[in-house]
């Protein structure tokens, strides 16, 4: 499979280059030249397959030309050592629970897959260490750090905004040591993301060390997230509820919903998508006006969605060839302020006893407001509510239990390096590593 840049000015890349490089030379995002349709028989029988069997078929369509079958199967099965179940919250509204992995967030799927695929390529090369740069607004850092922890030949640098991630999230990537370094940036998520992108474009730095990204700009991070959309469809088909299935995705950097849209292009019969934003409503405004206007990100209680210039908008725009009508025909939007998110969490808990995290609450509310007669909705519950325990407890007036594996992270000692948002300082640090 060949990959081109969304900016159309960089050389065509193979999968190896797209994964190891992360970002194209013209600062564009890599896109596969072909999105293969899966056969009708696959969808006719999909409910009979396990999550891992489904995911392997999807992975083979993207990566099968570049990774041998046995290695790809091992990568997929190792990645999905946990389930992503669909759970009924109330009639016609279901939660796709993506928090059953090691760091209790949806990004475990993409991060674990990418770690294993990158190691596959590193072993083929058998020499130079690869340095992974990842900006995080919360869950990406923990998922990537734990997905890559102890992987030989790879060092991970996690850049996160000081004071703007939860204590539990912070503990998941600042307490690990080994091949994981946490950089505490005096700024917001967009500053962290800008540092990562600038690093890839710096010729001197790239001569000094081999760099790649584990953010959703990397094809090996965002494409595997298509796996659980196929699984959600299969599990809903088992229930006889897949005819008019609406998927609602809490959206920040838009890698997650983009993976779902790729699934649809492969033939997955999702009726339509809803992109649910917090107060960072850049995509919502684009849907209304046709104009994409990035803004400085705003801090909210759904912090993983605090993104003012979502990178993967470029992929959505490219996928639909810039046709605003085509995008709005298939994707609708929603935007909620903090008080609305909190109100939704309380309402859902009081009515159903289901505990939403602040991000899932955006997805649940958008379905409640936009689901039409005859449709069934699935929203993505992207992280375990205990990752935001202080907020959730104060909103619900409860004391939710912290899962044992999450509590273990809290016992570790924080190790981080403070960093300004100035690229010269960041570059100087890496040049001396």
pLDDT, tens digit (0-9, with 9 covering 90-100), for 371-408? 999 999 999 999 999 989 999 999 999 899 989 888 88
* Cα of 363 vs its chain's centroid, Å: 15
Three-state DSSP at 71 gives helix
Integer Cα distance of 252 and 249 in angstroms: 9
Instruction: Residue 207: count other Cβ atoms within 10 Å of its Cβ.
Output: 8
pLDDT at position 275: 98
- Does the active-site annotation cover 346? no
Out of 36, 40, 48, 107, the active site residue is 107
Q: What is the DSSP letter of 241?
A: -
Integer Cα distance of 85 and 236 in angstroms: 10
Give yes or no for a contact between 215 and 346, defined as CB atoms under 8 angstroms apart: no
Instruction: Residue 383: count other Cβ atoms within 10 Å of its Cβ.
Output: 29
pLDDT at position 215: 74
Structure tokens at 204: 């001197």
For 112, half-sphere exposure in the C-beta direction (CA atoms, 13 angstrom radius) is 20
**Sequence ranges of the domains in the chain:** 82-101+219-394, 128-208+401-432
Integer Cα distance of 329 and 339 in angstroms: 29
Whether the domain at 82-101+219-394 and the domain at 128-208+401-432 fall into the same CATH topology: yes
**What CATH number should be reported for the domain whose range is 128-208+401-432?**
3.40.50.1100
Length of the chain: 433
pLDDT at position 127: 65
List of the chain residues with pLDDT < 50 = none
Integer Cα distance of 27 and 197 in angstroms: 8
**What CATH number should be reported for the domain whose range is 82-101+219-394?**
3.40.50.1100
pTM: 0.90
Give the alpha-carbon dihedral of 182, 306, 411, 107, to 10 degrees.
-80
For 209, half-sphere exposure in the C-beta direction (CA atoms, 13 angstrom radius) is 22
Integer Cα distance of 90 and 97 in angstroms: 15
């Amino acid at each position: 499979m060949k990959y081109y840049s969304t900016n159309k000015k960089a050389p065509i890349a193979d999968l190896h280059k797209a994964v190891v490089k992360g970002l194209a030379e013209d600062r564009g995002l890599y896109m596969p030249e072909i999105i293969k349709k899966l056969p009708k028989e696959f969808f006719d029988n999909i409910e009979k397959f396990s999550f891992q069997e489904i995911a392997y078929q999807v992975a083979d369509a993207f990566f099968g030309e570049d990774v041998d079958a046995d290695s790809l199967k091992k990568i997929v099965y190792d990645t999905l050592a946990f389930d992503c179940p669909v759970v009924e919250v109330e009639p016609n509204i279901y939660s796709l629970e993506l928090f059953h992995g090691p760091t209790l967030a949806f990004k475990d799927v993409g991060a674990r897959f990418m770690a294993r695929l990158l190691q596959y390529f590193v072993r083929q090369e058998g020499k130079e260490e690869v340095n992974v740069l990842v900006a995080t607004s919360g869950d990406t850092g923990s998922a990537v750090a734990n997905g890559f922890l102890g992987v030989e030949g790879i060092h991970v640098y996690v850049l996160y905004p000081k004071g703007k991630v939860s204590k539990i999230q912070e503990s998941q990537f600042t307490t690990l040591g080994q091949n994981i370094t946490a950089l505490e940036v005096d700024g917001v998520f967009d500053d962290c993301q800008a540092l990562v992108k600038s690093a890839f474009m710096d010729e001197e730095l790239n001569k000094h060390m081999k760099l790649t990204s584990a953010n959703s700009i990397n094809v090996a991070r965002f494409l595997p997230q298509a796996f659980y959309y196929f699984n959600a469809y299969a599990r809903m088909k088992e229930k006889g509820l897949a005819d008019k299935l609406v998927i609602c995705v809490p959206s920040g950097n838009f890698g997650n919903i983009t993976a779902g849209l790729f699934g649809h292009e492969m033939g997955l019969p999702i009726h339509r998508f809803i992109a649910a934003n917090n107060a960072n409503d850049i995509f919502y405004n684009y849907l209304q006006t046709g104009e994409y206007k990035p803004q400085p990100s705003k801090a909210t209680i759904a912090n993983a969605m605090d993104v003012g210039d979502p990178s993967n908008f470029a992929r959505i725009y490219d996928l639909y060839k810039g046709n605003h009508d085509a995008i709005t025909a298939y994707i609708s939007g929603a935007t909620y302020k903090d008080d609305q998110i909190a109100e939704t969490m309380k309402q859902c808990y009081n009515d159903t006893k289901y505990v939403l995290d602040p991000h899932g609450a955006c997805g649940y509310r958008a379905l409640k407001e936009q689901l039409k007669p005859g449709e069934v909705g699935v929203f993505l519950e992207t992280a375990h509510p205990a990752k935001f325990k202080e907020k959730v407890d104060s909103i619900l007036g409860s004391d939710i239990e912290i899962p044992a594996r999450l509590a273990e992270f809290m016992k570790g000692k924080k190790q981080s390096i403070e960093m300004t948002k100035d690229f010269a300082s960041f570059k100087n640090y890496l040049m001396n590593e």
